[in-house]
């Protein structure tokens, strides 16, 4: 389900990085020097302190690990939807996504390894590198090759309007099957402790809103237009949950509470992000010309 999304990213757009770099700087700094660590801090605070009476320490550690995987993977696909809903600059959003996809290759593993180690979970770097290779490098390479080949022989219009739509259902079906599989293994835990879902969702939702406003308001301070500020906020607030779920399953197994935490991230993302889209659309007048 990751491969179809990678085909949508035009890595040729990276040549436009230097034309208006401020928005990219905001995206890179928020996604890679702030977001993973605030995700760790906020969820650790809630799981170990605020919800201490409800979540046992071992379970809290697993839920924290799932949150770490979410926090270290900024959005790749859904950000195009959020950008469209906020009338973002589509060309600029492509550059933001393309550069972040490349940064995932080098930043995801060390950040996850570092934060999991602090959490008390030791994962061999080789295992993380293998996960990145399987779930990022291979679909990314396949997406680049497919995009270049189809456009070369059929043209960009055919690729965007005919070829890509053929894969839309594959991504949705893949995600739904993953959710069904996970909940079949986690069903007993969920039915006996439905409160856990809510307890996981609360810090994840707070983190999503917090990161959005950091990026969004930073763009305002830098006097960037709204059509750059809104996607900049969305790409950090949203998560590359397909990667997070896949890595969680490969590292901990389908029945692990770590995987459940990443799945809760999937469930809360859409309603929270739609809430933030509404905020972005209502605050256009914060930006020069309302654009």
The number of residues making up the chain comes to: 291
What is the arithmetic mean of pLDDT over 113-139?
85
Instruction: Round to whole Å and give the CA distance between 81 and 77.
Output: 8
Per-residue confidence (pLDDT) for residue 186, from 0 to 100 = 66
CA 191 to chain centre: 27
Residue 221's pLDDT band (cuts 50, 70, 90): very high
Q: Does position 16 have pLDDT exceeding 70, yes or no?
A: no
What is the distance, to the nearest Å, from the Cα of residue 5 to the centroid of all Cα atoms in its chain?
Answer: 12
More confident of the two residues 189 and 117: 117
Residues 6 or more apart in contact with residue 244 via CB below 8 angstroms: 66, 69, 70, 73, 262, 265
Q: Where in the sequence is the domain holding 254, given as residue range(s)?
A: 3-290
Under 8 Å between Cβ of 9 and 143: yes
Q: What is the pTM of this model?
A: 0.85
Q: What is the pLDDT of residue 191?
A: 75
Please compute, for residue 191, the number of CA atoms within 13 A of its CA located in the half-sphere on the CB side: 6
- Band (pLDDT 50/70/90 cuts) for residue 240 is confident
CA gap 82, 143 in Å, rounded: 22
**CATH number of the domain to which 41 belongs:** 1.20.1530.20
Total domains in the fold of the chain: 1
Continuous H helices in the chain: 3-7, 21-29, 35-45, 57-71, 78-85, 90-119, 125-132, 138-154, 156-158, 168-192, 195-221, 226-237, 241-252, 257-282
- What does the alpha-carbon distance between residue 97 and residue 231 come to, in Å, rounded to a whole number? 10
């Amino acid at each position: 389900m990751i491969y179809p999304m990678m085909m949508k990213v035009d890595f040729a757009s990276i040549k436009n990085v230097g034309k208006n770099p401020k928005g990219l700087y905001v995206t890179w700094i928020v996604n890679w020097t702030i977001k993973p660590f605030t995700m760790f801090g906020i969820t650790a605070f809630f799981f170990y302190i605020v919800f201490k009476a409800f979540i046992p320490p071992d379970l809290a550690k697993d839920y924290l690990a799932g949150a770490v995987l979410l926090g270290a993977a900024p959005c790749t696909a859904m950000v195009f939807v959020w950008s469209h809903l906020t009338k973002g600059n589509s060309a600029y959003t492509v550059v933001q996504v393309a550069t972040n996809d490349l940064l995932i290759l080098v930043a995801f593993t060390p950040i996850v390894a570092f934060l999991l180690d602090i959490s008390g979970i030791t994962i061999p770097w080789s295992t993380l590198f293998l996960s990145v290779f399987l779930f990022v490098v291979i679909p990314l390479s396949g997406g680049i090759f497919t995009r270049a080949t189809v456009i070369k022989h059929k043209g960009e219009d055919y690729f965007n309007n005919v070829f890509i739509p053929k894969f839309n259902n594959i991504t949705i079906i893949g995600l739904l099957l993953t959710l069904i599989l996970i909940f079949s293994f986690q069903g007993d835990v969920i039915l006996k402790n439905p409160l856990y879902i809510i307890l996981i969702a609360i810090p994840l939702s707070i983190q999503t809103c917090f990161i959005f406003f950091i990026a969004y308001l930073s763009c305002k301070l830098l006097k960037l237009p709204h059509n750059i500020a809104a996607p900049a906020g969305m790409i950090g607030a949203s998560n590359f949950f397909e990667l997070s779920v896949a890595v969680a399953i490969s590292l901990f197994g389908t029945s692990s509470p770590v995987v459940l935490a990443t799945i809760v991230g999937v469930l809360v993302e859409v309603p929270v992000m739609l809430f933030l889209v509404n905020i972005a659309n209502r605050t256009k007048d914060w930006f020069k010309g309302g654009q």
